[in-house]
């Protein structure tokens, strides 16, 4: 899996906004033609008292959803928490965790937005460009857009509209719970994104790979872990060669 060096990470929020605008035209939304055998779920957890963050990646088989590998990294972040700019806070440490994988996933599910974003460049879309891999955003809350007519049964979905375009779907992954918001990130279609995410939600509201990654990083944040792998923000594809990406 190629890692692309598209921009620096040590940027201001204003510079980050411009980077998103420049990257957005590169997003490709199309169905994945090759079979999906392995799906990765990612999540990042932040310390409440300082700038420490934990990134976790769990790879599962698809469609059986059996975990086959997990990796994690602890590090520091200097970018503030700003809605719409989450990728600049979380992606550097996520990339460091992803580069440790020995099983390369065919698809990555992110706890965040894909193109359902003010500039069409949520965390999943941004990550997909950097790793040149299909990605899907699976958010627990809506960042942009409106929807209506969502059924109450598991599997029901309603188009999420923003700026006159369909940017995602609100999907009921479990009866009696709030929907999640699914949007394609990169190299995948909305229809396929919905189908895969629903298949990854056999019992819980959140897709199983993301749920596993969430449990992993929360356990790490609680202190139930061994010494972490060293972390430094990725600088170039050359620096990460031989690391599995």
Quick: pLDDT tens for 150-203. Answer: 999 999 999 999 999 999 999 999 998 999 999 999 999 999 999 999 999 999
Longest dimension (CA), the chain: 49
Half-sphere exposure of 30 (CA within 13 A, CB side): 8
Answer whether residue 3 is part of any domain: no
CB 188 within 8 A of CB 142: no
70-125 pLDDT, tens digit each: 999 999 998 999 999 999 999 999 999 999 999 999 999 999 999 999 999 999 99
Answer whether residue 158 is part of any domain: yes
Answer whether residue 180 is part of any domain: yes
Answer whether residue 242 is part of any domain: no
For the chain, the average pLDDT equals 90
Q: Would you say the C-alpha torsion 124, 125, 130, 131 has a positive or negative sign?
A: positive
Under the banding of pLDDT at 50, 70 and 90, the label for residue 2 is: low
> Which range of residues forms the domain containing residue 189?
13-221
b (16+ CB within 10 A) / e for 94-115? bbbbbbbbeeebbbbbbbbbbb
202-245 pLDDT, tens digit each: 999 999 999 999 999 999 988 845 444 433 344 333 323 333 33
CATH number assigned to the domain comprising residue 111: 3.30.2170.10
- The pTM of this model reads 0.90
Answer whether residue 49 is part of any domain: yes
Angstrom distance (rounded) from CA 60 to CA 93 = 20
Answer whether residue 109 is part of any domain: yes
12-66 pLDDT, tens digit each: 999 999 999 999 999 999 999 999 999 999 999 988 778 899 999 999 999 999 9
Answer whether residue 176 is part of any domain: yes
The pLDDT of residue 3 is 82
The pLDDT of residue 47 is 84
Angstrom distance (rounded) from CA 134 to CA 151 = 28
| Count of structural domains, the chain | 1
Answer whether residue 2 is part of any domain: no
């Amino acid at each position: 899996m190629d890692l692309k060096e598209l921009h620096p990470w040590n940027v201001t929020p204003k510079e980050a906004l411009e980077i998103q605008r420049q990257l957005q035209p590169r997003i490709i939304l199309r169905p994945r033609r090759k079979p999906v055998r392995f799906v990765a779920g990612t999540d990042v957890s932040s310390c409440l008292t300082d700038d420490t963050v934990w990134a976790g990646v769990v790879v599962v088989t698809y469609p059986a959803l059996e975990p086959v590998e997990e990796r994690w990294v602890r590090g520091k972040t200097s970018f503030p928490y700003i809605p719409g700019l989450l990728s600049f806070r979380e992606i550097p440490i996520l990339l460091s965790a992803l580069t440790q994988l020995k099983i390369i996933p065919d698809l990555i599910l992110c706890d965040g937005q894909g193109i359902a974003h003010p500039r069409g460049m949520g965390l999943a879309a941004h990550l997909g460009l950097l790793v040149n891999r299909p990605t899907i955003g699976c958010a627990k809350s809506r960042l942009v857009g409106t929807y209506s007519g969502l059924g109450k049964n598991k599997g029901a979905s309603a188009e999420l509209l923003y700026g006159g375009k369909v940017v995602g779907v609100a999907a009921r992954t479990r009866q009696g719970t709030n929907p999640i918001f699914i949007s394609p990130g990169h190299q995948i279609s909305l229809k396929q994104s919905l189908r895969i995410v629903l298949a990854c939600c056999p019992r819980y509201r959140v897709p199983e790979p993301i749920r596993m990654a969430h449990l992993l990083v929360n356990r790490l944040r609680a202190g139930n872990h061994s010494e972490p792998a060293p972390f430094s923000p990725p600088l170039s594809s050359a620096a990460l060669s031989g690391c599995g990406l």
